[in-house]
């Protein structure tokens, strides 16, 4: 991403009440920024993706999924090209970054993951991209499933 693009993104984020801090991640589909709410100082992640069906599906799915082990969606805004999802910030990284876990922690995290998946299935949503890179750990050491762009709604 070029410097002028970063400056444009910072301005868009600022117009919506957030202060850009840094890029956390980028891949072929999106950029993930660490941001801070300008009035209360709370940290959030803003996921910027080019508008497309995957992004629309992700925001729709997240709006329907309010669960303690699923990442929270706080806000959505867009510009002419991109959609921005304001998401819960998980400062403890991913399961992948944790590496090998002690047995008790592995069991606790596994139960949380299964509860989140069961909840998604109860809402007729199938997650299709569950992997250690998409399982974050919040400040309370709780699992948060993320990346619902590949999730699909299904019929009974």
Whether 129 is a known active-site residue: answer yes
Instruction: DSSP letter for 81, please.
Output: S
Alpha-carbon torsion, ordered 138, 101, 97, 58, to 10 deg = -50
Cβ–Cβ under 8 Å, residues 116 and 123: no
Sign of CA dihedral 99, 103, 108, 114: positive
3-state DSSP call for residue 108?
helix
Among 27, 79, 129, 141, the active-site one is 129
Sign of CA dihedral 88, 64, 153, 110: positive
Report the catalytic residues. Answer: 129
């Amino acid at each position: 991403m070029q410097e002028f693009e970063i400056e444009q993104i910072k301005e868009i984020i600022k117009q919506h009440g957030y202060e850009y801090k840094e890029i956390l991640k980028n891949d072929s589909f999106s950029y993930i920024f660490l941001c801070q709410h300008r009035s209360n100082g709370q940290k959030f992640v803003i996921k910027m993706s080019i508008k497309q069906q995957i992004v629309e599906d992700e925001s729709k799915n997240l709006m329907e999924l309010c669960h303690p082990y699923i990442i929270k969606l706080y806000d959505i805004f867009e510009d002419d090209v991109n959609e921005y999802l304001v998401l819960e910030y998980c400062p403890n990284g991913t399961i992948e970054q944790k590496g090998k876990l002690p047995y008790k922690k592995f069991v606790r995290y596994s139960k949380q993951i299964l509860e989140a998946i069961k909840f998604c299935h109860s809402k007729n949503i199938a997650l299709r991209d569950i992997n250690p890179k998409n399982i974050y750990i919040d400040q309370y050491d709780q699992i948060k499933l993320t990346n619902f762009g590949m999730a699909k709604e299904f019929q009974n």
